[in-house]
Structure 1
Amino acid sequence: MADGISSTISPSAVAGAGPAASVSSKNAPGGLKVYKRHFVTVGCSLLVLVLFLAAWEWLPGWLGMPEFILPRFTTVVQEGIRMWNTGSFMEHFNITAFEVVIGFILGALLGLLVGVVLGLSPTTESVLSPYILALQIAPKVAFAPLFVMWLGYTIYPKILVALLIVFFPIMVNVLSAIRTVDPDMVNLVRTLNASRWQIFRLVEFPSSLPALFSGLRIGATLAVIGVTVGELVGGNKGLGFLLVDAEGQGNTAGVFVAIFGLTVIGIAAYAAVVWIERRCLHYIPKANVTTV
């Protein structure tokens, strides 16, 4: 019976579209316009970047701004090369990246689990929601010193702070998605004598995937913030520690290098979520927006 229901109801059927519904943009009408618009968008974006870097390079000198306030772009690049050659940058970069990945994965799994449990059980949500809300309202920065006191100057306090920050947006998105599942689809599966697990696996969980990935996108950037806060408060390794160390030495260029490293980690985490999302939700049709 399980195989019959699985073959009848699929994630693509729940979403209302299948892979066969996708049409190559190259063969679609107006495809050339889409590619031209994409080319113009990329060109304008690169132009903005060039203008920004040019202003960063020459404006501080024209305004008479000292290097310890705002170093030139080339000065930051030179400092980054020096830190790269000494090996200190990559050591701290790898530690922070590892903490971000672990904190993000644990926070995502916990948020998914709690979101599903609360979504399937309104009674459990009524009991636990005040405590979960209180945990979210409490500033995460306040927990960082406490975690350091408990766990010492290790990677664990940073991972815990990242876990707490990532947990809430994913939990809320999954909870809302579970509660707003199409009741007609649920009733359809029930008419096929589906069990409670089959209803969740074939209808509720696939329907919650778009909301889950929306929460994961937010969590990917918040994980970097959480780890950085932990390293700023009580770290002896990582880019957050490198940032504080450079600030203590009056090395403004080094501060910018650490910020750049944190930005790269955040972009990489976000891009990884988008890459996974496109492969998991390929059956959902994308809006084709055109301008006259």
Structure 2
Amino acid sequence: MKNLNNSMLGSVALLILFLVLWQWGPGLLGMPEFVMPQLSRVAQESVVMWQTGGLLQHTLITAFEIIVGFGLGALLGVAIGVSLGLSPAAEAMLSPYILALQIAPKVAFAPLFVMWLGYTIYPKILIAILIVFFPVMINVLSAIRTVDPDMINLVRTMNASRWQIFRLVEFPSAMAALFSGLRIASTLAVIGVTVGELVGGNQGLGFLLVDAEGQGNTAGVFVAIVMLTLIGVLAYGAVVWAEKRILHYMPKAMLSTQ
């Protein structure tokens, strides 16, 4: 507990130091405002954007796109990861295509999705799904493949069905790896949605960022970046909270993938 308190105090101290440097550092270094605005200037701009720039509305739109893209991408990753993990033949057949999809730069898909679906929320959600899918899928696939065979054989001796083996042994054993993938995916979802909004958006924080950049409003750019960062932190924190709540009630033996 003492070490935890010391770590929290250290983190708070670093945050305070960062904010102090942000407030007074640009002035001491002689940086003009269009290069690096002070923290107080960014705070003032955030109030203006909240009152007259629709900051809340754009933030909610981006958050909705991230939640939907993350959820659908995670579900797709789990479904395909489990399917490939249980079927080596299917993995051998589909792996080259899944790998090719992962290697292809997601940014390149953004203009195509916009051309297909227009300036709506759907292109951003699709990009988030593509980015979230792979880390979740590969973690689940690896976990399913490395389940202790002795555990499976033990359940089989009790005349368990294939579904019972999956429900009682294989899926619980993959939970730790699943949440590791979800942690990564929660941050990637923010990146995916932001890329979509930057390429072809008329709403959302990515749109606000581009709009502020076009006006030379550096403080407005920082406001959008800070809001995107906060959403990412909240998304990551939600995954960590769920992980602790769920894995806490599962036997440690069931979480082992060795």
Q: Which residue pairs with 1:116 in the alignment?
A: 82
Q: Distance in 2 between matches of 1:284 and 1:263?
A: 32
What's the secondary structure of 2:203's corresponding residue? coil
- Residue pairs, 1:1-292, within 5 angstroms: 35-86=1-52, 88-283=54-249
Count of paired positions: 252
- Could you tell me how far 1:43 is from its partner in structure 2? 1.4
Q: Which residue pairs with 2:255 in the alignment?
A: none
- TM-score scaled to structure 2, two decimals? 0.96
Q: Distance in 1 between matches of 2:251 and 2:149?
A: 22
Q: Write the letter of the residue equivalent to 1:242.
A: L
Q: Distance in 1 between matches of 2:67 and 2:13?
A: 32
Q: Structure 1 stretches of 5 or more lacking a match?
A: 1-34, 287-292
Q: Distance in 1 between matches of 2:197 and 2:152?
A: 46
Q: Which residue pairs with 2:256 in the alignment?
A: none
Q: Distance in 1 between matches of 2:137 and 2:3?
A: 37
Q: Could you list the runs of 4 or more consecutive aligned residues of structure 1 that deviate by over 2 angstroms after TM superposition?
A: 283-286
- The CA RMSD over aligned residues, in Å, is 1.1
- Could you tell me how far 1:86 is from its partner in structure 2? 2.1
Q: Structure 2 stretches of 5 or more lacking a match?
A: 253-258
- Could you tell me how far 1:114 is from its partner in structure 2? 0.3
Q: Distance in 2 between matches of 1:42 and 1:199?
A: 42
Q: Distance in 1 between matches of 2:135 and 2:199?
A: 24
Q: Write the letter of the residue equivalent to 1:256.
A: F
- Could you tell me how far 1:266 is from its partner in structure 2? 0.6
Alpha-carbon displacement from aligned partner over 1:12-45 (angstroms, at most 9, x marks no partner): xxxxxxxxxxxxxxxxxxxxxxx22222211111
- TM-score scaled to structure 1, two decimals? 0.85
Q: Percent identity?
A: 73
